[in-house]
Amino acid sequence: MADPALLVYTRTTDYRHDSIPAGIAALRSLGGFEVHAHEDPAALEEPLDRYAAVVFLSTSGDVLTPAGRERLAAYVEGGGGFVGVHAAACTECGWPYYGDLLGARFAGHPPVQPGRALVEDHDHPATRHLPPVWEVTDEWYDFQAGPRPSARVLLSADETSYAGGTMGDDHPLAWCRTQGAGRVFYTALGHTVEAYGDPLFRAHLRGGITWAAAR
């Protein structure tokens, strides 16, 4: 029996992350999924039901056509999985539905630096393998508003462990939620090329994707 398929979408019309090729390679190496990587917005205009999940891997700016927006919304509302990684929070800023779907929108970030990520919920495939305090070097995204209460927060940032955070004591980094009949997972981590070689981060991604893809 064939592995379930993922549509991994990496189109950018704003900042483009050097880590995108490493991210695609990491997803392909996880096993258990057949990865279809696309940059062409026409890929989102086609029926999406054959995919277990759609992954926006560091997309940025406006990346969908009106038809693609309709397809994606109908897919998730009907039970499809959606995964956003890192700059997916800087995507489709003019489409209100997308902000609701993801749960939060990007506001800014300090320079890349080491810090501590705190596991809030160990009872999830994306976090159950992580230590309670995870030392990470990344670009620590701040958000315009946190995703609570519509999302289940899995991982948060300890702003005392790095410089430049603006959200204070409640700084979610990864979460999951439902949208219609679909499941949504987002992680703010994944800025650096090196992240995609980290076994902990790869397992974090695999857990989140597996959860979102489970209909």
pLDDT in tens, 139-180: 999 999 999 999 999 999 999 999 999 999 999 999 999 999
- The confidence score (pLDDT) of residue 63 equals 98
C-alpha 11/C-alpha 120 separation (Å) is 31
pLDDT of residue 66: 98
Strand-strand pairing, 152-158 and 113-119 = antiparallel
Spans in the chain with pLDDT lower than 50? none
Q: What is the pLDDT of residue 215?
A: 77
Position 2 scores a pLDDT of 79
Provide φ and ψ at 20, rounded to 5°: -60, -50
What pLDDT sits at residue 9? 98
